């Protein structure tokens, strides 16, 4: 798991910056979404804060989905 600013709760603070695999990502929040932008400001993922977009209310799952998205995007960038 990434080291987010508030590790005792399964919630990512607005404006959190994560460095992974040589890339930097900024996570903003709004309307129950996490929006992940790369170092160029491009949106690389939109993730429901409550996990599954189909009515789930699992905040920890939402954080895990952000982590998975960052890992996936980083892997894709490393292959380009």
Whole-prediction pTM value?
0.83
DSSP-assigned beta bridge partners for residue 36: 27, 45
Tokens 């798991």 belong to: 1
pLDDT single digits (tens) 5-53:
555 567 898 999 999 999 999 999 988 899 999 999 999 999 999 888 7
Tokens of 41: 């400001």
Q: What is the pLDDT of residue 67?
A: 94
Output phi, psi for 56, to 5 deg: -75, 155
DSSP string, 66-79: HHHHHHHHHHHHHH
- pLDDT interval class at 2 (50, 70, 90): low
């Amino acid at each position: 798991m990434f080291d987010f600013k508030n590790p005792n709760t399964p919630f990512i603070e607005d404006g959190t910056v994560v460095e992974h695999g040589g890339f930097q990502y900024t996570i903003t929040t709004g309307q129950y979404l996490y929006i992940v932008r790369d170092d160029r400001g491009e949106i690389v993922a939109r993730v429901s804060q409550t996990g599954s977009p189909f009515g789930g209310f699992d905040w920890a799952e939402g954080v895990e989905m952000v982590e998975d998205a960052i890992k996936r995007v980083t892997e894709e960038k490393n292959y380009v």
